[in-house]
């Protein structure tokens, strides 16, 4: 329940932020100045507020459930981005879009049913070392991809930055999982935990990276890639480093893999159908938007 609440809030917040971030000049990409420009936009601030609420729900979900399952459920946030965009545009979902929605829901539900993880020690406050290693590995993978993305252009830039942002999101999820356990220890527990400082440092860095990916101006690439990479990276971290080994036989493993593929395909189709912006936000050059806008004529955000 908390994971789905987080998905609703994350998806709505992302829909607000992506449109605003794409309107910021490219010279601010990857720099703190990008966030300084975005805080001047009321709709972006609203999106951040909604995502902070999602973060709270996400933290509760990670405290009560395994990382792998929580992250797979939170991956459905793109569905709610789609619904938000459609409500604002006043246009109905096509049959293809509805099929993609059902594919995502079916894929997530099937994975949860087929791959319940065995109990691990990642979420136990007394054993934070494994979680720290997992977060560090995810961050180490994200940094070179982010650097390569900033040096690239066009589609390659969007893909690299989105993959880096997805890895960073997964790393922050691991840190949040530990933080959600130590917060019950009061101020002394918070001050003595590495997760508190990792969250203070990594949270803004992850936010900046995500906004830079959004700024690439290719939402049909960045949104689905982030939505898919985050749970897949979390699944890998959970199984390889956090002891959340899924109880899978050969047949159930095959079906679980198919469920992940179906979910990923549905997310990609939804993004390609419904996350193309209607046109430039006021003050943004028209050339920064795709020519084949799917929501032409919809109201400004």
Secondary element (H or E) of residue 45? helix 42-64
Residue corresponding to tokens 């589609």: 155
Q: Report pLDDT digits (tens) over 237-250.
A: 877 777 666 666 77
**Cβ(40)–Cβ(63) under 8 Å?**
no
Give me the pLDDT at residue 129, please: 56
pLDDT on residue 69: 75
More confident position, 68 or 262: 262
H or E element: which one contains 288? none
- Residues 145, 33, 44, CA angle at the centre, nearest 5°? 90
The pLDDT tens digits for 140-189 are: 999 999 999 999 988 889 889 999 999 999 999 888 888 877 777 778 77
Other Cβ atoms closer than 10 A to 53: 17
Q: Could you tell me if 172 and 199 are in contact, meaning their C-beta atoms sit under 8 angstroms apart?
A: yes
Question: 117 forms bridges with which residues in the sheet?
Answer: 246
pLDDT value of position 111:
74
Identify whether the C-beta of residue 168 lies closer than 8 Å to the C-beta of residue 160.
Answer: no
Helices 219-240 and 194-215: crossing angle in degrees, nearest 10, is 150
**Most confidently modeled of 128-137, 161-170, 172-181, 224-233?**
161-170
Q: What is the pLDDT of residue 21?
A: 85
* 123 and 66 Cβ atoms separated by less than 8 Å: yes
What residues have CB less than 8 Å from 198, skipping those under 6 apart?
Answer: 132, 135, 175
């Amino acid at each position: 329940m908390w994971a789905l609440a987080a998905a609703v809030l994350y998806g709505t917040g992302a829909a607000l932020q992506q449109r605003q971030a794409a309107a910021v000049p490219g010279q601010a990409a990857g720099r703190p100045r990008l966030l300084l420009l975005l805080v001047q936009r009321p709709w972006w601030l609203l999106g951040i507020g909604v995502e902070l609420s999602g973060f709270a729900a996400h933290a509760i979900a990670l405290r009560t459930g395994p990382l792998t399952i929580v992250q797979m459920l939170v991956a459905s946030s793109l569905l709610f981005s789609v619904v938000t965009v459609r409500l604002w545009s006043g246009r109905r979902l096509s049959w293809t879009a509805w099929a993609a929605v059902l594919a995502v829901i079916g894929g997530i539900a099937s994975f949860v049913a087929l791959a319940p993880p065995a109990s691990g020690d990642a979420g136990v406050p007394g054993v934070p070392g494994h979680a720290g290693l997992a977060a560090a590995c995810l961050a180490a993978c994200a940094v070179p991809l982010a650097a390569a993305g900033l040096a690239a252009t066009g589609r390659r830039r969007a893909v690299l930055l989105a993959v880096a942002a997805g890895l960073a999101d997964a790393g922050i999820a691991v840190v949040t999982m530990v933080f959600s356990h130590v917060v019950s220890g009061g101020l002394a527990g918070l001050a003595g935990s590495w997760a508190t400082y990792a969250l203070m440092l990594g949270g803004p860095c992850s936010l900046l990276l995500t906004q830079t990916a959004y700024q690439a101006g290719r939402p049909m690439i960045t949104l689905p890639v982030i939505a898919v990479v985050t749970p897949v990276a979390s699944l890998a971290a959970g199984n390889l480093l956090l002891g959340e080994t899924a109880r899978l036989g050969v047949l159930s493993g095959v079906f679980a893999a198919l469920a992940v593929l179906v979910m990923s395909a549905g997310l990609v189709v939804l993004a390609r159908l419904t996350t193309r912006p209607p046109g430039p936000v006021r003050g943004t050059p028209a050339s920064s938007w795709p020519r084949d806008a799917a929501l032409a004529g919809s109201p400004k955000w």
